[in-house]
Structure 1
Amino acid sequence: MRTVAIDLGGTSVKLGVVEHGALVSRTELPLTPAFHLGHVAAAVHAQLDGAAVDAVGIAVPGIVDPAGTRLVAAHGKYATLLQLDLSEWSLAAFGRPAHVENDARAALVGEVTDGIVAGARDGVLMTLGTGIGTAAMIDGRLVRGRHGHAGILNGHVTVDFAGQRCPCGNTGCAEAFASTWALREAIAGGELEPGPELAARLRARGAIGVRDVVETRQEPESAAVLERFSEVWAAALVTQCHAYDPEVVVVTGGVMRSAHLILPELSRRVHERLWSSSFRPPVVTPVDPATSVLRGAAALASAPDNEGPS
């Protein structure tokens, strides 16, 4: 079986072809102001080189409709795709309708299918990137809820009721304190003064991310930011664990390339703060986080009930 997987990410678009459960081809497109779906179709066809397609999976950074056909809500991302029937677009582009799913859910399925937690049936995932994405699975089935919001909004749990208003509408969200966009806003607004090395990176590239903070942690300014971020991430993870009682916790995203510097302390904080009788789940990070979403999107598109492994 040959499946096309498309990951519409926050900074780039990842494309892959999966055959018999293995990712055999992968490419990436930069997300520019001129981006449109025609670029995606052309790049996928170049990967396929004339081969037929059996299924298509598309992952998006937002709320999807219950039928799994379109993106219905997102904040500041892919405005041109809102309410566009991506399943119909896929049918026209590749001859097969697509199954559309939230990207964090797809990432969790990717890791449960053949990743770091292969075979797990109860788990939660948090992805740390431009924002904070989350997902949950109970007894082998993704948590979606009546309107598609369940499990994926834990980045918008309140960690400070007196905090600033988040673009989502809530106050004091975890994402508004400990994400790449929050970091950039804090520096631009003068709330955070970066140390010399972090400031040099900002001047050189025009933008920085959480990974830059980790890599400059020897500077007091970066160390203080990392401490605050770790506290927020732990608080959000504890809420996920209390809500879904997982057997395993997956933390992923670009910043987890420095997992050896982040994961042990994050795990300690989570285990320390869980309800006294709660199970202390292992906190792990994927071996290949860059392909989690692609592998999960393909698994969902290929599964009879679009749930991934059962």
Structure 2
Amino acid sequence: MSDTAQRIQLWTRDLGSCLHATLATVLLHDGHDPVTVLGAPWEFRRRPGAWTSEEYYFLSEPDSLAQRLALYHPFESTWHRGGDDGLDELRDALAAGVLPIAAVDNFYLPFRPAFHDVHAAHLLVVYRITSSEVFVSDAQPPAFQGAIPVSDFLASWGSPNPPDDADVFFSASPSGRRWLRTRMRGPVPEPDLDWLGRVIRDNVARYRRESTAGIQTGVAGLRRYLDELCALTPGTDAAAEALSELYVISWNIQAQTGLHAEFLRQQGKKWEILELAEAAAGVDAVAHGWTGVRMTGAHARVWERHRFDELRRHSTELVRRLDAALEQLELAADVLSRSA
């Protein structure tokens, strides 16, 4: 195993997708804690109709994906598209000490269960390239780190990712030889009590604000979105489209929520503040509350089990847990103000 591979950690979480896993891999390689960088922010944002069928979808402006996921750190990313000499671009990035994150199709990856079976958009990290092999790191189960033939990588990286009935959620989204370049563009903040208090209050404030500029945000935006879902007419094309969107966009919202809970637990242990641990448990309950909403929607979409009464029940419980978690976070922020 190369020195580079030895410095790469396979990092993932049960509720996470390849988006957080690959960014965490890069952050760890560059000496940063992904739980702090990616776990500090917490929000709900949705722009109706603005989603793509990729495992790594997260609402952000062009070339601001990392910035949106790391609101409190100077972490940034830019999308690039490799041409005929695309591997040379990746080689150049590696030579500059950058780990490229490649958009791929699971259908062509020999180590994925979907190999030659299911088309689905995915991300992985490239850490070495030879004349015949590309060395990749993919923490999503089943975790893999090692070499695959150049031909397989190029097929996956350049795949049209056609529509696939076996995965209606993450197919129909071409890889297009895209790759993500990331960097920390400045000094990272000191995670002291003042910083932590500001982060918590800022997150709560975003959840308390009303939706603006065509984007559904915060508690009000989430309630409106869930009400719209529960009002769908079962069996219609509009319902199928909306339920597909739900499954895609909520994955990384759920992942961020779970990671924020881990961030709060980490900070609670560090500072020995009980209210942070209690807030972490509340946020963790929200993260797992998303499971009922996502899975009910997915079952309705794939198996036409249009149980919108069940979706309403899970949605009501999700919002209840969110309201409770926000109250716990406000209490924790008050304690931090007195402790700082």
TM-score of the superposition, structure 1-length normalised? 0.28
Specify the structure having the higher radius of gyration (Cα).
Answer: 2
The structure richer in strand per residue is: 1
The structure richer in helix per residue is: 2
